[in-house]
Amino acid sequence: MKQLLEDSPELKVTGEAASGMEAINKVRTEHFDLLLLDINLPDKHGIEVLKQLKAEQPDLKIIVLSMYPEEQYGVRALKAGAMGYINKQSASDTLISAISLVASGKKYISESLAEQLLNNLIGESQELMHQSLSNREYQTLCLMASGKTLSDISEIMSLSPKTVSVYRSRMLAKMGFTNNAEAIHYAISHHLVESKD
């Protein structure tokens, strides 16, 4: 990805961060025109990092670049303040044009994300239950559906098992489920679990 950016004469990579906190600290001390942010970070969830960055620097242009498909996190990223969302699988084709568009002050969305937003707007997708969840509740649902145990989830989210249990309970209540199996079935049938291919 970095090579792709450096091969473009109008772009210059001026910094890299290996974690969410490192990215936040770099943005606090250095100036960047645009930030590419992953969702899957070792210390904090990318959406949480995005919200914190936008709270501290509302004018910072951020594109979320993730392995997760648009239907999983695209709308959430845009609602949290991202100006674009790109799936890594299509990044080599769209990244440079998306950066140019966002750098000029416009938003970038893929065709599939545009269709999802339009369906939400005109009500054709009948409000999906998972769209009412908080980011933590949604993350708990996705991790449960990918086979993670309560202790795995608490470690991944850097939260106590008790706190994860609270998010799980809230998620089940909001979605009207009585047990984990119903939630997992919903997540799998709505393609909220990343494929292992």
pLDDT tens profile 112-164? 788 777 766 666 544 577 877 888 999 999 999 999 999 999 999 999 999 99
Is 37 strand, coil or helix? strand
Q: Indicate the fold that domain 2-122 takes in CATH.
A: Rossmann fold (3.40.50)
The average confidence (pLDDT) of the chain is: 87
Where do the CATH 1.10.10.10 domains begin and end in the chain? 129-189
pLDDT confidence bin for 102, thresholds 50/70/90? very high
Where in the sequence of the chain do the CATH 3.40.50.2300 domains occur?
A: 2-122
pLDDT digits (tens, 9 = 90+) for 60-94: 999 999 888 787 788 889 889 999 999 888 777 88
Percentage of residues in the chain with pLDDT exceeding 70?
93
Q: 5, 73 in Cβ contact below 8 A?
A: no
Count other C-beta atoms under 10 Å from residue 163's C-beta. 14
- What would the mean pLDDT of 39-68 be, rounded to a whole number? 91
Spatial separation of the C-alpha atoms in residues 173 and 44, rounded to whole Å: 25
Tell me: domain 129-189, CATH 1.20.80.10, correct?
A: no
CA distance 85 to 91: 10
